[in-house]
Amino acid sequence: MKTIGIIPARYDSRRFRGKVLADLCGKPVIRHVYEGALKSRFLDELVVACDDVRIKRAVESFGGKAFLTSTSHKTGTDRVIEIASSIESDYVINIQGDEPFMTGELLDSVIDALYEDREICMATPIRRIISSQELSNPGVVKVVVDKDNFAIYFSRSCIPFPRDSLDLQSLLKHRAFYGHIGLYGYRRDFLLGFNNLPRSELEEIEELEQLRIIANGYRIKTVITDYHGVGIDTPKDLERAVEILKRNV
């Protein structure tokens, strides 16, 4: 079996242009992601799929591998599919280019789920929500799962909704609510057919691609982890990441 990791990286992000090249304690964000992913025990190859030569040059400057993709792609998944279609493999891991605290352990937990059951077409990590602010934040995608940890639904809203309690912080002490981590593992054959699946109303309303898979009758295996990263969506997120790194030095 061969498993490749692909990091989609876009320069013109809406909220933070050039964020993957932003300096984070002496290294660009994309380098933190790349070096974290390299610690995986299961990845056979790791590449960056980017839309701008500045990203490609930055990755190659620290010894990484990068490919330029079409500038017309609307999503990171589209960028991953373009590269995955040209590299033979059994599994493809879509690694977010703005997650500087990415760990090999997190990647391996997703890959291990795919290896355990070859019928699984997709796996993704989730983690327990620990604050009421996260629970009510639409930027934190919530997920509910069945008894076998397959996803039932993803939402920007609080799910399950606590009908009888408005004290969310107290509720979190006694009930498990889960947030989604934007890392995706696919069987390559399933990923290459992803764009042939019709978009659903659920996906269009929530603006969550993974709902296309559920709406079309496929199952997503979730892996519960302790990972709590910081995605770099805004300059303030970058400041938080700097603080975290300095505390851990």
Predicted confidence at residue 174, as pLDDT, reads: 82
**pLDDT mean over 58-86:** 96
In the predicted structure, residue 76 carries a pLDDT above the cut 70: yes
In the predicted structure, residue 249 carries a pLDDT above the cut 70: no
Contacts of 219 (CB under 8 A, 6+ apart): 120, 121, 122, 150, 151
Predicted confidence at residue 138, as pLDDT, reads: 93
In the predicted structure, residue 48 carries a pLDDT above the cut 70: yes
For 140-189, write each residue's pLDDT tens digit: 999 999 999 999 999 999 999 888 766 777 888 888 999 999 999 999 99
Amino acid at 44: D
Question: In the chain, pLDDT over 70 holds for what percent of residues?
Answer: 99
Predicted confidence at residue 224, as pLDDT, reads: 97
Spatial separation of the C-alpha atoms in residues 227 and 230, rounded to whole Å:
10
DSSP the chain: --EEEEEEE-S--SSSTTGGGSEETTEEHHHHHHHHHTT-SS-SEEEEEESSHHHHHHHHHTT--EEE--TT--SHHHHHHHHHTTS--SEEEEE-TT-TT--HHHHHHHHHHHHH-TT--EEEEEEE---HHHHH-TTS-EEEE-TTSBEEEEESS-SS--TT---HHHHHTTS--EEE-SEEEEEHHHHHTGGGSPPPHHHHHHT-THHHHHHTT---EEEEE--------SHHHHHHHHHHHHHT-
In the predicted structure, residue 71 carries a pLDDT above the cut 80: yes
Domains belonging to the chain, first-starting first, are 1-101+235-249 (3.90.550.10), 121-181+193-228 (3.90.550.10)
Predicted confidence at residue 38, as pLDDT, reads: 97
Average predicted confidence (pLDDT) for the chain: 94
More confident of the two residues 246 and 23:
23
